Structure 1
Amino acid sequence: MDPITIDPYFTLIIATLVLLVGRLMVDRIRFLQNFNIPEPVAGGLLAAMIIYILHASTGMSFAFDKGLQDAFMLIFFSSIGLSADFSRLKAGGIGLVVFLAVVSVFILIQNAVGVGLASALGLDPLIGLVTGSITLTGGHGTAGAWGKVLEEQHHIAGATDLGMAAATFGLVLGGLIGGPVARKLINNMGMKPITGGSGSADTGNEYADDVFEHADQRRLITANSAVETMALFAACLAFSAFMVHPDVKALFPPKFTLPQFVWALLFGVLLRNILTGAFKVNMFDRAIDVFGNASLSLFLGIALLNLKLWQLLDLALPMLIILAVQTVVMAVYAYYATYRFMGGDYDAAVLAAGHCGFGLGATPTAVANMQSVTERFGPSHKAFLIVPMVGAFFIDFVNAFILTGFANFLGHH
């Protein structure tokens, strides 16, 4: 039976309903709250399971329009670029640079483990990237973006679906291992839990970056700031479309291929820092935050509506094996490398918990991990300053270039 095509208008309507159902699920189900599962992921997976049941019982399937999905993905990555102010590097100091280096080395290890295990299990090595930093360090947004690239440029069928499943797995595991790793390190130091509570999570949040950690925070936006912000997004999208045009791509070396979302992100960074640095423009960060978070939610909602669970059954066991090994590697690396290179003190233990969070899941998972530790053992201002900046901004650039190198190398072998 041919799939039933859903046009952009109804795709958007259904995606917003998925988000509302997801919000209701997260509000009511404690498991989803404890593991910080995003609302679009909760609602989207429920929708994917309903579609799977329909397919299994009646043979029906649906093809939701992906034009809007791609547009929301580009807006989301543009928002990361437009929020990346290089002046924040000064606030993080040398600790931020060292942590970024530690995390960057782990991305190389994560991809090497994924590619090696995929090859050993008889899968396409590129699938190893999907169960590597594409989904684990990158999260759902990067999974959807790279899934599209792998499907269209490298002909890896179901890469997006596999990526969404792996990213969801990573979110749960990242939330599970961060706290225990940090507590083991803290116990080794002989520290005891503080008594009477400290409110450390509140204190820590003063140092956390608001862009992705507090998506529900009320932000005052005027019509003018909204229009001007949309103009910035339009510039990023137009530049990215220009850079992937066949005539422009022909000007670059054959092996030099950057996905469109990377161009959108890079131009966002340039636009942000040129406007604020050279022209002293006051950027509307609150509007950028709102558009970015809303676009990410809608992108995930549409991507998960297109999740065809029946296509994943053949890959289920190999994928679980690779992800289980990745989880062990993450815990060991955070325990020995992250902790040691970040100073071997209490702040380093909290940073190790944060690394587990976004090394397998996402930045909000990292913050949740750190809060679970600081609520018991006291505040860590250093960790709450460094992790959101590295996890939400700078690591995306490193991950994008490492992945591009891996994909181009594997794609030509």
Structure 2
Amino acid sequence: MNFSFDSLGVVLGFDMIGTIAMGLISLFIGKKLKEKLTFLDRFGIPAAVIGGILFAVVHLLVRVIHIGSISYDTTLQTPFMVVFFTTIGLGSSIAGLKKGGKLLIVFWILSGIMTLMQTVIGVSLAKVTGINPLLGVMAGSVSMSGGHGSAGAFGQTIEELGVTGGLTVALSAATFGLIAGGLLGSPLAVHLIKKFNLKPKDIVNKEEVQKKDNTEKKEITLTSMMSHVSMLSIVMTIGIALSTLLKSKLGIALPSYVGAMFTAIIFNNLNIKFKWLDLDRNLINIIGETSLNIFLSMALISLKLWELAALAIPLLIILFSQVLFMWVYTRFIVFKAMGGDYDAAVMVSGMCGSGLGATTNAMINMGEISGKYGYTVNPYLIVPLTGAFLIDIFQMPVILTAINMFK
């Protein structure tokens, strides 16, 4: 940590380690606030987002009243981001796709159309309101169906392309989406259930639809930790090299984590068949969640909220349009395409949650509906599997195409 002076006053600078430390402090403050303020939990807002935005607001106030400013060294943000998305890739399997059957395929395609339209809406309205189309991409599927992880990753990418405010817009839009997805999903599903007098079929116990970890929890040892870190390092090295090669040969903007994630997908499915390595899913999840929290905390505390001043009205127009689209799309298309029955109504609430926020939002929305009317199996099989991984197969090409069209 060091001190200097500029036109705003005292500049408090944090190096790489200091930035991680401040990020983690914000994370635990966020956890405490989430425990105290239950509405934050209701909307599924991550602790890293709560604490990070609080720090960013304090930084904004410090600048506004000319006390000084804060600088962060976010060099380590990208490695943590790549680790997280690599663990996401390791959670994919062809077997899961087969298990979902026809309904999963339909929901998956509908989710793909949703991500395309979110990007089209974002870019179109960015042009209409006179802001950089790449900021419209950030307020599209990057932050809506992509959530904070994708927003942090691609926001950083377009800032590297010279677009000021890209990361701030993306993360702010993702936070808006989390709240909007919670406000829209459950009420819309209740409306559909009452309007069409829908009744659940084959009601099961709550425990039967909750995600279960059927694998034996293994003791985490130095050997198991080192073997998994080694595996992740090798997969990431190959994936990053792939991204770098494609960027250099094709001249496209491709974040390093994209290559790492898809390399992990290929490795995981080959490993399932050939059993090269006994993967500990619990350990992988721990590594992934830890990396995500550190990555998000670092990204959010370093938000430059003052960059939103000139973008506030265009951004709000885009975001409210995204919510309107989601209401129309899920109410009149997704509901009917998924069968127009009780399960379809529950999945509508799930798509609103994951399509505007995150898979966690989807689960909260569906739990709210199922708690009132009854739990059924299909929504809890189809929505999480699509939101957690399958949607990326559609989403990544859409986002990358849009970024490279307007860079």
- Please tell me the TM-score bracket, short chain as reference: over 0.9
**What is the match of residue 249 of structure 2?**
252
**What is the match of residue 129 of structure 1?**
137
Q: Which amino acid aligns with 1:46?
A: L
Matched, 1:234 2:233: yes
**What is the match of residue 345 of structure 1?**
341
1:67-78 alignment runs, 5 A limit: 67-78=75-86
Q: Distance in 2 between matches of 1:74 and 1:210?
A: 27
CA contact (8 A) 1:200 1:371 kept: no
Q: Using a 3 Å threshold, how does the CA distance of structure 1 residues 253 and 68 change in structure 2: closer, same or farther? A: closer
Q: 2:210 aligns with which of 202, 205, 208?
A: 205
Q: How many residues align?
A: 397
**What is the match of residue 38 of structure 1?**
46
Q: Using a 3 Å threshold, how does the CA distance of structure 1 residues 199 and 6 change in structure 2: closer, same or farther? A: farther
**What is the match of residue 220 of structure 2?**
221
CA contact (8 A) 2:253 2:403 kept: no
CA offset at residue 34 of structure 1?
Answer: 1.4
CA offset at residue 280 of structure 1?
Answer: 5.3
CA offset at residue 68 of structure 1?
Answer: 1.3
**What is the match of residue 108 of structure 2?**
100
Q: Using a 3 Å threshold, how does the CA distance of structure 1 residues 319 and 12 change in structure 2: closer, same or farther? A: same
Q: Distance in 2 between matches of 1:347 and 1:250?
A: 43
Higher mean displacement: 373-382 or 1-10: 1-10
**What is the match of residue 14 of structure 1?**
22
Q: Which amino acid aligns with 1:173?
A: A
CA contact (8 A) 2:27 2:293 kept: yes
TM-score using structure 1 length: 0.91
Q: Distance in 1 between matches of 2:247 and 2:115?
A: 30
- Structure 2: stretches of 5+ with no match in the other structure: 1-5
Q: Distance in 2 between matches of 1:371 and 1:136?
A: 21
Matched, 1:370 2:366: yes
**What is the match of residue 159 of structure 1?**
166
Q: Which amino acid aligns with 1:141?
A: G
Higher mean displacement: 85-94 or 348-357: 85-94
CA offset at residue 59 of structure 1?
Answer: 4.8
1:294-305 alignment runs, 5 A limit: 294-305=290-301
Counterpart of 2:126 in 1: which secondary structure?
A: helix
CA contact (8 A) 1:183 1:373 kept: yes
Post-superposition Cα deviations, 1:57-77, rounded to whole Å, max 9, x if no partner, equal: 225222211121111110110
Matched, 1:180 2:187: yes
Q: 1:400 aligns with which of 396, 400, 406?
A: 396
Counterpart of 1:83 in 2: which secondary structure?
A: coil
CA offset at residue 244 of structure 1?
Answer: 4.2
Aligned residues: CA RMSD: 2.1
CA contact (8 A) 2:204 2:377 kept: no
Q: Using a 3 Å threshold, how does the CA distance of structure 1 residues 220 and 179 change in structure 2: closer, same or farther? A: farther
Q: 2:65 aligns with which of 53, 57, 68?
A: 57
Q: Which amino acid aligns with 1:13?
A: A
CA offset at residue 52 of structure 1?
Answer: 1.2
CA offset at residue 166 of structure 1?
Answer: 0.5
CA offset at residue 201 of structure 1?
Answer: 4.1
Q: Which amino acid aligns with 1:238?
A: T
CA offset at residue 191 of structure 1?
Answer: 3.8
CA offset at residue 199 of structure 1?
Answer: 8.6
Post-superposition Cα deviations, 1:168-204, rounded to whole Å, max 9, x if no partner, equal: 000000010000111111112214799xxx9954332
Q: Which amino acid aligns with 2:181?
A: G
Q: Distance in 2 between matches of 1:149 and 1:119?
A: 20
Post-superposition Cα deviations, 1:312-359, rounded to whole Å, max 9, x if no partner, equal: 111111111110111011011111111111111111111110000010
Q: Distance in 2 between matches of 1:193 and 1:281?
A: 42
**What is the match of residue 214 of structure 1?**
none
Q: Using a 3 Å threshold, how does the CA distance of structure 1 residues 267 and 177 change in structure 2: closer, same or farther? A: same
CA contact (8 A) 1:6 1:64 kept: yes
CA offset at residue 392 of structure 1?
Answer: 0.6
CA contact (8 A) 2:198 2:341 kept: no
Q: Which amino acid aligns with 2:166?
A: A
CA contact (8 A) 2:240 2:257 kept: no
Q: Distance in 1 between matches of 2:95 and 2:249?
A: 31
Post-superposition Cα deviations, 1:10-60, rounded to whole Å, max 9, x if no partner, equal: 111111111111110100002211111101001111111111111112252
TM-score using structure 2 length: 0.92
Q: Distance in 2 between matches of 1:167 and 1:305?
A: 15
Q: Distance in 2 between matches of 1:206 and 1:38?
A: 19
- Structure 1: stretches of 5+ with no match in the other structure: 212-217
Q: Using a 3 Å threshold, how does the CA distance of structure 1 residues 203 and 279 change in structure 2: closer, same or farther? A: closer
Counterpart of 1:281 in 2: which secondary structure?
A: coil
